[in-house]
Amino acid sequence: MNSVFHALGDATRRQMLRDLARGERTVTELAEPFSISLAAASKHIKVLERAGMIQRDVRGRTHHCRIEPGPLASAHEWLGFYKRFWTDRLDALEQLLCVEDENSKP
Indicate whether 62 belongs to any domain.
Answer: yes
Cα–Cα distance between 73 and 1 in angstroms, integer?
11
| Segments forming the whole domain that contains residue 8 | 2-69
Q: What is the pTM of this model?
A: 0.76
For the segment 8-41, what is each residue's pLDDT rounded down to a tens digit? 999 999 999 999 999 999 999 999 999 889 999 9
Q: Is residue 94, in this structure, part of any structural domain at all?
A: no
Q: Find out whether 35 and 69 touch, Cβ atoms under 8 Å.
A: no
28-46 core/surface letters (b: 16 or more CB in 10 A; e: else) = ebbbeeeeeeeeebbebbe
Tell me: the pLDDT tens digits for 38-90? 999 999 999 999 999 999 999 999 999 999 988 988 888 889 999 999 999 99
Number of domains in the chain: 1
pLDDT of residue 13: 96
Residue 97 inside a domain? The answer is no
Whichever domain contains 42, its CATH number is: 1.10.10.10
For residue 106, being part of any structural domain is answered with no
Q: Looking at the domain assignment, is residue 89 inside a domain?
A: no
